[in-house]
Chain A
Amino acid sequence: MNIMEKQWYTISVYSENHVGLLNRISGIFLKRHINIESLNVSKSEIKGVSKFTIVVYTTEEWTRKIVGQIEKQIEVIKAFYHTDDETIYQESALFKIASHLLFDERQIQNIIKESNAQIVTVSRDFFALAKTGRKHEIDEMHAALEPYGIMQFVRSGRIAVSKATMPISEMLQEL
C-alpha cells in the first residue's frame, strides 16, 4: 500500500482518564483538517486506563504523524494504528420501527432473520432492533428497512481489537 494512498485506519489510544484529553486529541485532527469518521471512548483491558478508538480515512503518512502527535500528549500512554485487515472490528446500530409493520409487512421478519438482528423490545407502538456488524452490513440492513419507514436510527462508533498484541501492560510496568 502506497504511503500516500488514502484508506481506512483505526487508531487505538490508551490513556489516563483525564477530562480535557478528548479536547486535546480532537484538536490534533481539527488542526490538520482530518475528519474523525467515528470515535468511541471506553475502558480498556487495563484497570484505570481508557481507550479511544478513532476511525479516519486518510493516508498512512498522515495517520503516522497524527499518532505521533497523540502520543505526545502527556496523558496518553500509547497510540497504535491499524488497517482494517489488521483488526477485528464492529459497530452497533439501533432501529426503531412502527409495530404494525411487523404484521402488515411480511418482508420485515425476513430482513430481521437474514440480518441476524435482535429484537430488543416490542411495545404497542414500536419495536427496536439491534444490529452488530460491519458498517456495510448495517448499511445494507438500513437500505432494506428504509422503504417501510424507520422512526429512528442510530449507529455507534467503531470498536476494534487488533490482531497483533498491543503491549500496554508491560509498558506501564516499565514506567
Chain B
Amino acid sequence: METLKAQKKDSKKEKAIRISGAEAIIHCLLAEGVDLIYGYPGGAIMPVYDELYKFQDKLTHILTRHEQGATHAAQGYARVTGKVGVAMATSGPGATNLVTGIADAQIDSTPMVCITGQVPRHLLGSDAFQETDIVGISTPVTKWNYQVTRAEEIPEIMAKAFYIARSGRPGPVLVDITKNAQFDELDFVYEKCTGVRSYNAVPKAEPSSIEKAAELINSAKKPFIVFGQGVILGEAETEFKAFVEKTGIPAAWTILGLSALDTEHPLNVGMVGMHGNYAPNMLTNECDLLIAIGMRFDDRVTGNLDSYAKQAKVIHFEIDPAEVNKNVKADVAVLGNAKETLEMVLPLVDKKEHTAWKGEFDKMYQKEYDTLIDKDIHPTKEGLTMGEVIEKINVASGQKAVIVSDVGQHQMIACRYAKFKQSKSNITSGGLGTMGFGLPAAIGAKMGAMDREVVAIIGDGGYQMTIQELGVIFQHNVPVKIVVLNNEHLGMVRQWQELFFERRYASTVMTNPDFVKIAEGYHIKSRRVSEREDLKEAVEEMMASKDPYFLEVKVEKEDNVFPMIPSGASVSDIRLK
C-alpha cells in the first residue's frame, strides 16, 4: 500500500508543471470546463487578472459594473445551463459586494463558485488595506468556503469547490486566495474531486420508502403534487412528466419549479403560494395526499403552517435530509435525487385518471379566470396591465423564451402568466427576493443560451438597483430584451401599504428618470409604450430585434396582484380581490 501510494505520488510529480498560483487558478477553471466568468478586478486579485489576460482566447471574462452584477450574471448562467457559474472579485469591498448574490444562490440552490483575492498571508489580521474577513462574513450564506494561503493548496481546493457547488443540493462556494498564494509557484497537477468523506452529496434512496410512497399514491382519492426546483436541478423533467401522466395527478409548481413541466400540460394546474393560482392553493387543504417533489415548503408557499394540508398525508421527495420535517411533517420521506427516486417509484404506481378531482381544479380555475385572469391579460379598462404585456410576450416569443424576472409585482405577474415549453426557462430570485437580480441575471442567462431569446421583465424599482449593467450589454452587445414595467412605484410594497397599512405610501412613490434616454446613452435600441394600441407591435419589434432592446411599458400605477394569501393566513384564505 505504502509503495503504491509513493508510486502514485511520483507519477503525479512527473506530470506536474511548475507555475504560479494565479496561473494554476486558470488551469483549474479550464479543467472544470469553465469558459466564461464574471468579475471585477482590484489589487488583491491582480495576479489572476494578469493570467486571464494571457488566457483570453480560452476563458472569457466579462467585466460587470458592480460585483453584485457578477454574482447575478453567474447565477443566471448557472440556472439556464445547469453548469457552475463563476464570479470573481478582489478583497474587501469587492468581496463584500458579492454577498447578496451568494446569499441568493444559497437559498435558491444555485451552483456557483466565487473566487476572491485576499491580502497577503503576512498581513492577515492586521486591518490591511482592503482586508476583510470574507470567509467569516460569507460563512452563513455559503455551502462551503475556504481561505487558501499557500499556492500548493490551489488545485485541491478548487477541485473541491466545484464538486461541492454542483453536487447534491447545489449551492455557492467561496474560495478566498491570499495574494502571496497567487504569486508563489507550485507543482501543478489537477485531479477532479469525486468525493469528500464527510459529505454525502446524495442520500441513498431507500426502496422501502419508495414502496410506502407508491402504496399511498395508489390508494389516494384526491392526490396533489407540488413540484419545485429539485425536478430541474435533478434533471428529472422526463421522469417527472412520466410520473404525472401515469398517475394522472394534478401538479402545481412553486416559483422555482416553474418550467419543469410544460405550463400548458393538461395536468399542470398552476402555481402555489402567496400569489399563486386559486385552485392549487384552495385544494391543498382538500387533497388527501400531498406529494411534494424537490421543494422545501417555504412560508410563501405554505402560508400558516397550522392550517396547511392538515387533512392530507404527505410524501416528500427530497435530496436534502435537513429539509425533511423542517416545516411540514412528512408521513413518507423519499430521500435521494428526484430523477432516481421518480424512476424507482414509476413502475410501482397504478395508471389512473382522477377526472372528478381534476375537475375541481378546472372549476376553480374558471372562477379565477372570470374574476381576474381575463381582466389581467385581456384588459379593456384604461391603463396598461402587467399581465397583458406578459401575454403579448408569450405570443410573440412562441412561449420559447427564457424569462428572467426581478422581484416584486411584475415578478409575480410574470410567474403567473408566462408560458413555457422548455425547462430551465424561468429565472428569478425566489427565496431571497433580491431586487436588482433581473438585469445581470438576464445577461448571464443570455450568454448561457445564445440560441434562445432571453426576456428580462423588471420593475422600475429593481431596474435602478443594477441599471449600470447596461454597460455590459452595450460593450459586449449581449442581445437581451429588457422590458421595464414602469408603474412609478415600488409596487409590491405599495400594494401592502394599500391593503394592510391604510394607504400610507411611505417611500414607495418613485420619480423616475427618462429610461429610454438612459438606454440610448448606452446605444441600446429602445422604445416607450403607454398606449394599448401600440403594445403588440412594440413587443413584436422587440422580439424581432437581433440586437439588445429596451422596452419601457408605462403600466397602471396602482394595480394590485391577486389572488393573494395575506401574510400569515392559511392557503385556503386566498383572496381573489
Q: Show the binding face of A for B, using Cβ within 8 Å.
A: 15-16, 20, 23-24, 27, 31, 64-65, 68-69, 71-72, 74-77, 172, 175
Majority secondary structure, B binding face: mixed
The reply to whether the CB of B140 lies closer than 8 angstroms to some CB of chain A is yes
Cross-interface CB contact of B139 among A16, A20, A68, A175, cutoff 8 Å: A20
B139 touches A27 (CB 8 A): yes
B355: Cβ under 8 A from any A Cβ: no
Are A172 and B325 in contact, CB atoms less than 8 angstroms apart? no
Q: How many residues does chain B have at the interface if contact means C-beta atoms less than 8 Å apart?
A: 22
7 contacts between A and B (CB under 8 A): A20-B145, A27-B140, A31-B140, A71-B322, A77-B197, A175-B198, A175-B200
Q: Is the CB of B136 within 8 A of A23?
A: yes
Q: What residues of A have a CB within 8 angstroms of the CB of B325 in the complex?
A: 64-65
- Distance in angstroms from A15 CB to nearest chain B CB is 7
Which of B164, B198, B325 has the most chain A CB within a 10 Å cutoff?
Answer: B198
The 7 closest A-B pairs by CB, nearest first: A68-B322, A175-B197, A77-B198, A74-B144, A74-B199, A72-B322, A27-B140
With A72-B322, A75-B199 given, name 8 new contacts (CB 8 A): A20-B136, A20-B139, A27-B140, A65-B325, A74-B164, A76-B198, A175-B197, A175-B200
Q: Quick check: is B135 within 8 A (CB to CB) of the other chain? A: yes
Contact B322 A74 (CB under 8 A): no
CA distance A165 to B198 in the complex (A): 19
**Is B143 an interface residue when CB atoms closer than 8 A count as contact?**
yes
Interface centre among B135, B322, B325, by most A CB within 10 Å? B322
Measured between beta carbons, the chain A residues less than 8 angstroms from B164 are: 74
Assembled-state Cα–Cα distance A65/B320 (Å): 12
Q: CB-CB contacts of B161-203 with A at 8 A, as 1s and 0s?
A: 0001000000000000000000000000000000111111000
A27 to B200, CA, bound (A): 21
Q: Does B359 contact A (CB under 8 A)?
A: no
Complex-state Cα separation, A24 to B136, whole angstroms = 9
A74 touches B139 (CB 8 A): no
- A29–chain B nearest beta-carbon distance, Å: 12
Contacting residues, chain A, for B195 (C-beta < 8 A): 175
Partner of B322, one of A15, A16, A69: A69
Per the bound structure, the CA–CA distance linking A24 and B325 in Å amounts to: 22
Q: A16-B198, A175-B197, A175-B198 are in contact. Are A71 and B321 (CB under 8 A)?
A: yes
Q: Contact: B199 with A172, CB < 8 Å? A: no
Q: A68 to B136, Cβ gap below 8 A?
A: no
In whole Å, how far is A25's beta carbon from the nearest beta carbon of chain B? Answer: 10
Name B318-335 residues within 8 Å CB distance of A. 320-322, 324-326
Contact B140 A75 (CB under 8 A): no
- B261 → chain A closest CB, angstroms: 28
- A76: nearest residue on chain B (CB-CB)? B198
Min C-beta distance of B200 to chain A, whole Å? 7
Residues of chain B within 8 A of A74, CB atoms compared: 143-144, 164, 196, 198-199
Residues of B within 8 A of A172 (CB): 197
Query: Within the assembled complex, what's the spacing in Å between the Cα atoms of A84 and B450?
Result: 60
Point out which of B136, B143, B164, B197 has the most chain A C-beta atoms below 10 A from its C-beta. Answer: B197
> Would A20 and B135 count as touching, CB distance under 8 A?
yes
Minimum CB–CB distance from A170 to chain B (whole Å) comes to: 13
User: Considering the chains assembled together, what is the distance between the CA atoms of A74 and B163 in angstroms?
Assistant: 11
Over the window 137-170 of chain B, the binary record of Cβ atoms lying under 8 Å from chain A Cβ atoms (1 yes, 0 no) is: 0011001111100000000000000001000000
The complex places the Cα of A24 from the Cα of B322 at a distance, in Å, of 15
Inter-chain CA distance A75–B144, complex, in Å, is 9
What residues of chain B lie closer than 8 Å to A77, measured between beta carbons? 197-198
Distance, CA A69 to CA B320, complexed state (A): 10
The minimal Cβ–Cβ distance linking B53 to chain A, given in whole angstroms, is: 32
Give A24 to B321 CA distance when docked, in angstroms. Answer: 18
Nearest-CB distance from A4 to chain B (Å)? Answer: 13
Interface residues as binary, B404-439 with A (CB distance below 8 Å gives 1, 0 otherwise): 000000000000000000000000000000000000
CB distance from B557 to the nearest CB of A (A): 38
When C-beta atoms are compared, the residue in chain A nearest to B164 turns out to be A74
CB of A99 to closest CB in B, whole Å: 41
**Chain A, Cβ-Cβ closest to B142:** A24
CA distance A16 to B198 in the complex (A): 7
Residues of B contacting A75 with CB < 8 Å? 198-199
A60 to chain B, nearest CB (A): 12
| Closest chain A CB from B114 CB (angstroms) | 15
B47 to chain A, nearest CB (A): 24
Q: CA separation between A172 and B139, bound complex, in Å? A: 25
Given A68-B321, A74-B196, A175-B195: A23 in contact with B326 (beta carbons within 8 A): no
Q: How far is the CB of A2 from chain B (nearest CB, A)?
A: 15
A65 vs B296: C-alpha distance when bound (angstroms):
14
Chain B residues, CB < 8 A from A16: 197-198
- Picked from B144, B146, B198, B324, the residue with its CB within 8 Å of the CB of A15 is B198
Cα–Cα distance between A69 and B325 once the two chains are bound (Å)? 12
Q: How far is the CB of B181 from chain A (nearest CB, A)?
A: 16
Which chain B residue has the least Cβ–Cβ distance from A175? Answer: B197
Q: Report the separation of the CA atoms of residues A175 and B201 in the bound assembly, to the nearest whole angstrom.
A: 11
- The distance in angstroms between the C-alpha atoms of A154 and B146, with both chains bound, is 34
A69–B139 alpha-carbon span in the complex (Å)? 14
The answer for the CA separation of A74 and B196 in the assembled complex, in Å, is: 8
Do B139 and A24 touch (CB < 8 A)? yes
In the docked arrangement, what's the CA distance between A27 and B135, Å? Answer: 13
B326/A65 in contact, CB under 8 A: yes
Are B139 and A23 in contact (CB-based, < 8 A)?
yes
Q: B12 to chain A: closest CB distance in Å?
A: 22
Q: Give, as a whole number of angstroms, the nearest-CB distance from B140 to chain A.
A: 5
Q: Closest CB of chain B to A48's CB: distance in Å?
A: 10
From residue A128, how far is it (CB to closest CB) to chain B in Å?
A: 34
